[in-house]
Structure 1
Amino acid sequence: MNIVFFVLIAAAFGVAGWRQVTQSPTAAGVPMEALGQAALKSAEGAVTLGLGLIGTMALFLGIMRIAEAGGLMRVLARLLRPLLHRLFPEIPPDHPAMGAMVMNVAANVLGLSNAATPFGVRAMQALDRLNPRKGVATDAMVLFLALNTANVTLLPTHVMALRTAIGSHDPAAVIPTTLFATLWSTGFAILFAKWGARWFPADGAVSSERTDEMADEPVPEEVPPAYPLWVSVLAGVVCLLVIPVTVIWGRVVSPWIIPSMLVGVLGYGLIRRVAVYEAFVEGAKDGLAVSLRILPYLVAILVAVGMFRDSGAMELLIVPLGRLTGALGLPPEALSMAVLRSLSGSASFGYLAALLKDPAIGPDGYLGMLVSTIYGSSETTFYVLAVYFGAAGVKRIRHALLAGLLADLGGTVFSVLICGWLYG
């Protein structure tokens, strides 16, 4: 990300400087002066956006905390466990790895990425206990990472919060498009992770040294009991039926989603005897912390993108790329989002904010919906790989990176398909 940040600003400086020295003397000073003003205005706009994001982020994370306290994550975990047991037949059903994986996937389904990461780290450490070749990723590890980079997402919480803060007329419109893209990309990732195991065998000399200090500690994760298989199958069928419903009647249904979610989650919490007010406040505090934590990243990326755009460098880049990808429904801005999303979550979030704030794009048009869906249907593959495998001391990752990048590619492709159908 250091290189990306520098390249954007350096390219903006170079293009603006070239325009300054080659234009007529009567217009001297305009390009570089405009570049400085772009940096200042972008920084100011980033702070304004970050402050506006605090309320919506607190709202959504407060609601999610009620759902978590009421046991909704455990309900999803019980539904997912039979499926994960069949995807990972080599993992004993009562092993701590299975419990951590179930909770990780359930958190990702609800858009709780902050909660998913600790479960993912625990799962990798527990999976390493079953690893006969320390330092080499097992088939289960590769498949688990692929699931994390293309996890089915029901509630893209952060994207909805950003769209609300920017003033979208329909912040929840991204739910059906993200669900469609992640369902397909997840299936694609599973197939490649399974198929690629034969082409990347876990053999060869490896080090038996352990680099993590927690690997030999017990994983204190309770394994939730599974529902009967027919219940999980029925839930999967219902989830699949949601796709055509949201695709066909999405414009009618989506305005109801956020109000219904507020009433439904609060009612669910009361039924489960959750102190909904206190739980909401605790979640809102997390939302405040998340908003403040990403504010410096917003300033950095919005300044870089603003300078890159106003200098004319983006136009020089967009023209040739647009000829290659525009005909496929993937404008250069969306292609940049897809690449940046795999590299950095905070930077891609800032870039998403910059695009949605652009009056020429906006949050509700085709391009705004496309970049929102791409962000919600892919993951920071390099970050996930580094954190998860680093916790287990894995040095040879086999086809994990390729599986993760192909999962991101699948999310982008299916985002283009669904957004092109609905908004193209």
Structure 2
Amino acid sequence: MVLNYIWIAFFLIGFGVALARLLLNGDMAIFTQVLTGIFDMAKTGFDISLGLVGVMSLWLGIMKIGEHAGVIQIFARLMAPFFAKVFPEVPKGHPAGGSMVMNFSANMLGLDNAATPLGLKAMKELQELNPQKDTASNAMIMFLVLNTAGITLIPTSVIAIRQALAVDQGLVGFNAADIFLPTLIGTFISFMAGLVAVAVYQRINLFSAPVVAFFGGFVALMAGLFGWLHQYPPEVMAKYIGLLGSLVILSIIVLFIAVGAWRRINVYESFVEGAKEGFGVAIGIIPYLVAILVAISVFRSTGCMDYVVGGIAWVVGALGLPTDFVPALPVGLMKTLSGSGARGLMVDVMKTYGVDSFEGKLAAIIQGSTETTFYVLAVYFGSVKIAKTRYALTCGLIADVVGVIGAICVGYWFFK
């Protein structure tokens, strides 16, 4: 229901602003610009969905092998103590636990394309446990909020973009991975905010041994990983980060296939069975994805986003606070709406101010610390035809806002 109101508001506010620009400023091209943006985004939504077919078929096929081989159940058992506290409605040993673990793992490695099909599979399995098929269950809400606020261990794509821009700008010895630890801390802040917000709604006790152990282990892992990578030169560090992400994912694929072969299951037929599911899921999300992207396009192309950012800058300046973070702020605002839009804004900030500037670094940290809340809610809920999302959007936005604020604070801490 909340998404319905927001979707309507994007169109009505955007149209009102466009009309004002025509009547007050004589902007004769504004409505053509808006209409072109709508058509382009509709095509983009369709193209993205079709592009997901291959990736979803691949990963759901691999997941089916892991499920038949029993590997997914092993992953789920390892995380069972933590998941039992955070997802009390999910029965012990249910396949949804394994899918959620794999989804979180892919998100931690910054592999969005791998995380999406795994997340959609988890939603389908959670829907099987849902007594009200049109209403989001507590487990679904917790999963989606933690997904949108997911911890990013390695911001692979952000580092790759920074490295490419540094070459274009003639920077020698540039450390594209210098935002690694700040981004990791930023995502941890966002993750904790989302977890606490949902836990308050669902009255979940987070001061239990499994939850404390999970986060304590993560902090130790974070410190150890940084200590290991920090000893290498920038270019070597970047290579190790890229290698780590690729190696872990490929190792998982080979592990699933090897265990399946060892247990004498028909690995090929299992893969095909899962891949067929991926095709259906990808096609089913087209209407939901197109709907949210065209609304975002109207809000963005009419300049509403610029007005929001300008207003924030004025308020921050009036309070006597520094405003040098404001140029990077649109990345955080856009990231809740569109991942590709936020990526474009991040590149624009880096090109305008320099990839090694404070604004450029902050834009990269925000890009790696936040998630596309509206996109995730629209696609994931749409894939299982959930109409009543309850408080999912509220908690997701809390995680995003806290994540952006945390990213800005971390950026000042490391680079100012």
Decide: shared fold, TM above 0.5. yes
1:405 aligns with 2:397: yes
Residues 341/357 of structure 1: CA separation in 2 closer, same or farther (3 Å cut): same
**Pairing of 1:45-56 with structure 2 (within 5 A):** none
Deviation string for 1:313-338 (max 9, x for gaps)? Answer: 96x98765433235256633222221
The CA distance in 2 between the partners of 1:84 and 1:368, in whole Å, is 37
The CA distance in 1 between the partners of 2:361 and 2:175, in whole Å, is 10
- Structure 1 residue 258, shift from structure 2 partner: 1.3
Identity of aligned residues (%): 33
The CA distance in 2 between the partners of 1:184 and 1:109, in whole Å, is 14
Asked which structure has the greater CA Rg, the reply is 1
Residues 3/91 of structure 1: CA separation in 2 closer, same or farther (3 Å cut): same
- Structure 1 residue 367, shift from structure 2 partner: 1.1
The CA distance in 1 between the partners of 2:192 and 2:106, in whole Å, is 18
Corresponding residue for residue 100 of structure 1: 99
Normalising to structure 2: TM-score of the pair? 0.62
Corresponding residue for residue 316 of structure 2: 325
Greater shift in the superposed pair: 332-341 or 364-373: 332-341
**Pairing of 1:14-413 with structure 2 (within 5 A):** 80=79, 82-167=81-166, 169-197=174-202, 235-242=217-224, 254-261=234-241, 321-325=312-316, 327=321, 331-358=325-352, 361-413=353-405
Corresponding residue for residue 206 of structure 2: none
User: Is the CA contact (8 Å cut-off) linking 1:155 and 1:175 kept in structure 2?
Assistant: yes
Question: What amino acid is the match of 1:192?
Answer: A
User: Is the CA contact (8 Å cut-off) linking 1:80 and 1:106 kept in structure 2?
Assistant: no
Question: What amino acid is the match of 2:314?
Answer: R
User: Is the CA contact (8 Å cut-off) linking 2:135 and 2:389 kept in structure 1?
Assistant: yes
The CA distance in 2 between the partners of 1:229 and 1:340, in whole Å, is 32
Corresponding residue for residue 286 of structure 2: none
Deviation string for 1:199-236 (max 9, x for gaps)? Answer: xxxxxxxxxxxxxxxxxxxxxxxxxxxxx999978853
- Structure 1 residue 135, shift from structure 2 partner: 1.6
The CA distance in 2 between the partners of 1:180 and 1:3, in whole Å, is 36
User: Is the CA contact (8 Å cut-off) linking 1:343 and 1:382 kept in structure 2?
Assistant: yes
User: Is the CA contact (8 Å cut-off) linking 1:374 and 1:412 kept in structure 2?
Assistant: yes
The CA distance in 1 between the partners of 2:246 and 2:115, in whole Å, is 23
- Structure 1 residue 366, shift from structure 2 partner: 1.3
The CA distance in 1 between the partners of 2:253 and 2:309, in whole Å, is 54
The CA distance in 1 between the partners of 2:363 and 2:371, in whole Å, is 13
SS of the residue corresponding to residue 393 of structure 1 reads coil
- What RMSD, in angstroms, separates the aligned Cα atoms of the two structures? 4.7
Deviation string for 1:22-61 (max 9, x for gaps)? Answer: xxxxxxxxxx9xx9xxx9xxxxxxxxxxxxxxxxxxxxx9
Normalising to structure 1: TM-score of the pair? 0.61
SS of the residue corresponding to residue 416 of structure 1 reads helix
Question: What amino acid is the match of 2:175?
Answer: D
Corresponding residue for residue 202 of structure 1: none
Residues 177/128 of structure 1: CA separation in 2 closer, same or farther (3 Å cut): same
User: Is the CA contact (8 Å cut-off) linking 2:163 and 2:176 kept in structure 1?
Assistant: yes
Question: What amino acid is the match of 2:396?
Answer: G
The CA distance in 2 between the partners of 1:107 and 1:97, in whole Å, is 15
The CA distance in 1 between the partners of 2:230 and 2:371, in whole Å, is 25
Residues 386/88 of structure 1: CA separation in 2 closer, same or farther (3 Å cut): same
Residues 82/258 of structure 1: CA separation in 2 closer, same or farther (3 Å cut): farther
1:422 aligns with 2:414: yes
User: Is the CA contact (8 Å cut-off) linking 2:151 and 2:184 kept in structure 1?
Assistant: yes
Deviation string for 1:100-126 (max 9, x for gaps)? Answer: 111111111111111111111111111
- Structure 1 residue 194, shift from structure 2 partner: 1.2
Deviation string for 1:240-269 (max 9, x for gaps)? Answer: 4248859xx969765542133356678889
SS of the residue corresponding to residue 154 of structure 1 reads coil
- Residue segments in structure 2 that go unaligned for 5+ positions in a row: 1-6, 34-54, 168-173, 204-209, 255-292
- Residue segments in structure 1 that go unaligned for 5+ positions in a row: 21-31, 40-60, 199-227, 275-296
The CA distance in 2 between the partners of 1:420 and 1:151, in whole Å, is 22
- Structure 1 residue 93, shift from structure 2 partner: 2.6
Greater shift in the superposed pair: 103-112 or 73-82: 73-82
Count of aligned residue pairs for this structure pair: 316
